[in-house]
Amino acid sequence: MGSKVGQHSISFSRPPVITVGTTIVGPIEGKGPLAQTFDWILEDLLFGEKSWEKAERKMLQESAKLALKKRNLQEQDVDFFLAGDLLNQTVSSNYAARCLGIPFWGLFGACATFVEAMLLGSMIIDGGFASKVLLAASSHHNTAERQFRFPTEQGNQRPMTSQWTVTGSGALLLEDNGEGPRITLGTVGKVVDLGISDVNNMGAAMAPAAASTLISHFQDTGTGPNSYDLILTGDLGKVGREVLKELLKKRGYLVEDNLNDCGLLIYDLEKQDMHAGGSGCGCCAVVFSGLLLSQLREKQFHKVLLVATGALMSPAIVQQGETIPGIAHAVVIESG
Amino acid sequence: MKFLLAFLVGGAICTIGQLLMDLTRSSITPAHILVGYVTGGAILSALGLYQPLVDLGGAGAVIPLSGFGHSLAQGAIEAARIKGLLGAFSGGLEATAVGIAAAVVFGYVMAVIFNPRG
Amino acid sequence: MNQQQKRQREMQEEYRELIQEIKPKPPVLRNCILAFTVGGLICLVGQIFLHLYSTQGLGVKEARAATAATMIFLGALLTGLGIYDVIGKYGGAGSIVPITGFANSIVAPAMEFKREGFIFGVGARIFTTAGPVLVYGFLISVLIGIIYYLVH
């Protein structure tokens, strides 16, 4: 059985294997540089449904089903289903779980949800409580916009620091044995708040959490930035990434070439006019389950530190004058 | 000439709004801008400072939402002069009734006919 | 407790300064030129209607009201067609401040929340932005009327 390492980290003695990864994305993501790495690119944001919320739910559901199909499994072959999304009461996940009928844990960690699910899924498997865990996370640009900001048809100008919520859902199947990349370590993040209240600058709200989790991880495991082929953050975007580098530098960690961000990978920022980059639970989920998983399988990378960051933002609470806390969870994936 | 002035005055009034959005706190939304323009326009109008702008710019001063504030203020003042205290209550609404009814009717009709594209 | 709060506040202040340094500045000049042009053009269209209605024999006030109603119609229509948000992306305040922007702020939420029904969806959301505008507009108007009444 795994054990706790240092103050915040967990090491797995029987590292779970990521056997399958699936991705579904919206049309804009499908026109981006990662188009080749996605399983399914939607032609429109409604996905044949009557509302965007129903479309997001269907996306999450279909990405989970596709994972089962790729592995020739039935719903009852999977022990647990872990999923989360950005909507109130995590409705997309709840309704997807209603359809799948697999014992379910609904998670909310804002855009850090996907890695939260990877961490918990790995703990469940390593603890011997399950042999197969299915996990998924989704976001949808239009459902998020209207819940967190403005109606989509409102003619307002997005500031340069704003990020574009990814329409997409990614799912992974974790198993106790098999071939593929393995999750060997994890670091659980603390909620960190350095007083950002700008709802259009999520990167700045999340960067301190990313720095906190990374530093805990390095301290707990005795590693440093150079111990990894790639440190991939979830959706800090252009602004958040610069801030993270600066915060790490202050603490004596220099990170340069091996730091990348899912929010920067998923779009062509110049051509697609995405300002600071992509965001949302789906961002990290589709970039990891698509691009990263295949790169790990092909052994282009041997050891990757995935750090998903979430801005724990509630419009009502921000209107009451509160600032926006952030959280970040990390997992180490080795190509095995 | 009237058309050029409308363009210039209207453009200038909008530019002030852009500066407010770009240079002040990030929590300024379109709703704040619109509320600010209506109340600001009404106050300027009550002080007699908005009418000259309307005389100069025509639609350039009427079409921005400060022009809506101007109508509200002038309606209230005129009705208060003629009808007294009751007029102070009814004047603003009377002067802007066409615009408000148009906003609700056209707004409703368009919202029912069309669906958002995202 | 006080010490800790003070340290926290210092850290936040320091962090805010860092963000100000790093965050990309809005292209103010470009935004202003666009706002000026878009706002000016919308008002120019308004002037054309005002001219038309005046020459059709409407009085000054009636012509203005008709112009406002026409512009509201256009703003609402362009929102329904999905064009106004594109204008807004470039025009910024130039498309928010004119009365067409007011129409946009009425149609956008009403249309988007239609899926939640006609009472709590369309009916309630239609006033998301228009509500505050009307509330403060009426308040200030009545206040001005009362002050005028008291002074004269």
Burial of A215 (0-12, 13-18, 19+ CB in 10 A): middle
Q: Among B87-91, C9-13, C109-113, which is the least confidently predicted range?
A: C9-13
- Taking an 8 Å cut-off on Cβ atoms, the answer to whether A198 and B27 are in contact is yes
SS3 annotation, C110-139 = HHHCHHHCHHHHHHHHCCCCHHHHHHHHHH
CA dist., res. C143 & res. A50, Å (int): 46
Pick among C7, C16, C22, C84 to test the A interface (most A CBs inside 10 A): C22
CB distance A235 to A273 below 8 Å: no
B94 in any annotated domain: yes
C1 pLDDT band, cuts 50/70/90, is low
b/e map C70-97, b = 16+ CB within 10 Å: bbbbbbbbbbbebebbebbebbbbbbbb
Q: How far apart are CA A327 and CA A6, in angstroms?
A: 19
The whole-angstrom distance between A185's CA and the closest CA on chain C is 30
Q: In this complex, which of B19, B76, B91 lies closest to C32 when CB atoms are compared?
A: B19
pLDDT band at C115 (very low <50, low <70, confident <90, very high): very high
- Mean pLDDT, residues B60-82 taken together: 96
Read off the pLDDT of each residue in B43-64 and give the average, rounded to a whole number.
96
Query: Structural domain of residue B98, as residue ranges?
Result: 2-113
- Are the C-beta atoms of residues A199 and A318 closer than 8 Å to each other? yes
Chain C partners of A159 at a C-beta cutoff of 8 Å? 26
- Which chain C residues contact residue A153 at CB under 8 A? 79, 82, 84-85, 104, 107-108, 111-112
Q: Which of A156, A158, A194 sits opposite C15 (nearest CB)?
A: A194
What pLDDT score was predicted for residue B28?
85
Cβ of C91 within 8 Å of Cβ of A238? The answer is: no
- Considering only CB atoms, B18 lies closest to which of C32, C100, C132, namely C32
Angle between helices C60-80 and C84-91 in degrees, nearest 10: 100
User: Phi and psi of C66, rounded to 5°?
Assistant: -65, -40
What tokens were used for C77? Answer: 């229509």
Yes or no: say if A16 and A183 are a contact pair by the CB < 8 Å rule. yes
* Total domains present in chain C: 1
Q: Do B118 and A152 touch (CB under 8 A)?
A: yes
Whole-number pLDDT of residue A130: 97
Span B16-38, pLDDT tens digits: 999 999 888 777 888 999 999 99
Whether B87 is in a domain gets the answer: yes
Domains present along chain A, CATH in parentheses: 3-175 (3.40.47.40), 182-334 (3.40.47.40)
Chain-chain contact of C16 with A155 (C-beta, under 8 angstroms) = no
Q: What is the pLDDT of residue C3?
A: 87
Q: Are A188 and A7 in contact (CB under 8 A)?
A: no
Q: Which chains lie within 8 Å of chain C at 3 or more CB pairs, if any?
A: A, B
Distance CA A297, CA A317 (A): 43
Strand-pair category, A259-261 with A104-107: unpaired
Q: Which sign, positive or negative, has the C-alpha torsion A231, A237, A241, A243? A: negative
Point out the residue among B17, B58, B87 whose CB comes nearest to the CB of C97.
B17
| SS3 state of residue A110 | coil
Of C136, C65, C149, C61, the C-alpha closest to B77 is C149
Tokens of A335: 């190509």
Residue B118 forms part of a structural domain: no
DSSP state of C117: -
Residue A10 contacts residue A2 (beta carbons within 8 Å): yes
Q: Which residues of A touch B27 (CB under 8 A)?
A: 197-199
Domain around C78: 31-151
Contact A157 C92 (CB under 8 A): yes
A95: enclosing H helix or E strand:
helix A91-100
The per-residue pLDDT for C101 is 96
Report the relative pairing of strands A132-139 and A168-175 from DSSP bridges: antiparallel
CA dist., res. C74 & res. A9, Å (int): 59
Chain C residue at shortest CA distance from B24 = C26
pLDDT of residue B117: 82
Whether residue C23 is predicted with pLDDT greater than 90 in this model: the reply is no
Asked whether residue C73 is domain-assigned, the answer is yes
Percentage of chain A lying above the pLDDT 90 cut: 93
Chains A, B: CB contacts within 8 A come to 26
Q: Tell whether the torsion through CA atoms of B18, B11, C80 and B69 is positive or negative.
A: positive
C-alpha dist (Å) from residue A166 to A86, A90, A170, B34: 11, 16, 11, 30
Q: Which residues pair with A255 in a beta bridge?
A: none
Average per-residue pLDDT for chain A: 95
Q: What is the average per-residue pLDDT within C91-99?
A: 96
The verdict on residue C7 lying in a domain is no
Residue A52 tokens read as 């965007």
d(C-alpha C128, C-alpha C109), whole Å: 7
Give the residue from C129, C74, A11, A302 showing the smallest Cα distance to B30.
Answer: C129
Is position C39 within any domain? yes
Nearest CA in chain A to B111: A153
Per-residue pLDDT at A2 exceeds 90? no
Question: Which tens digit of pLDDT belongs to each residue from A11-40?
Answer: 999 999 999 999 999 999 999 999 999 999
Token pair for residue A55?
């479309």
Query: What number is the ipTM of this complex?
Result: 0.94
Q: In total, how many domains does chain B have?
A: 1
Q: Which chain B residues have any C-beta within 8 angstroms of a chain A C-beta?
A: 21, 26-27, 29-30, 116-118
pLDDT score for C91: 95
Owner of token pair 């948000």: C85
* Interatomic CA distance for residues A278 and A263, integer angstroms: 4
Out of A45, A156, A199, closest to residue B118 by CB: A45
The pLDDT tens digits for A171-218 are 999 999 999 999 999 999 999 999 999 989 999 999 999 999 999 999
Give A 161-220 residues with CB within 8 A of chain B: 197-201
Residues in A closer than 8 angstroms to C31, CB to CB, are 157
Query: For C120-151, how does the pLDDT look when each residue is reduced to its tens digit (9 = 90+)?
Result: 999 999 999 999 999 999 999 999 999 999 99
Q: In Å, how far is A19's CA from the nearest CA of chain B?
A: 35
B40, part of any domain? yes
Q: For residue range C55-68, what is the model confidence (pLDDT) as tens digits?
A: 998 998 899 999 99
Over the stretch A256-279, which tens digit does the pLDDT of each residue have?
889 999 999 999 998 998 899 999
Are the Cβ atoms of A152 and C108 closer than 8 angstroms? yes
Distance of CA C149 to CAs B80, B85, C137, C139, Å?
Answer: 6, 6, 18, 15
Task: Let me know: does A203 contact A243? Beta carbons within 8 Å.
Answer: yes
On chain B, the residues whose CB falls within 8 A of the CB of C61 are: 95
Task: Report the residue of B4, B89, B106 to disrupt the C interface, i.e. the one with the largest count of C CBs within 10 Å.
Answer: B106
Q: Which of C142, C141, C112 is nearest to C125 (CA)?
A: C112
* Residue B32: other Cβ atoms inside 10 A: 16
Q: Is residue C56 part of a domain?
A: yes
Q: Which of C22, C79, C111 is the closest to A243 by Cβ?
A: C22
A151:C16 CB<8 A: no
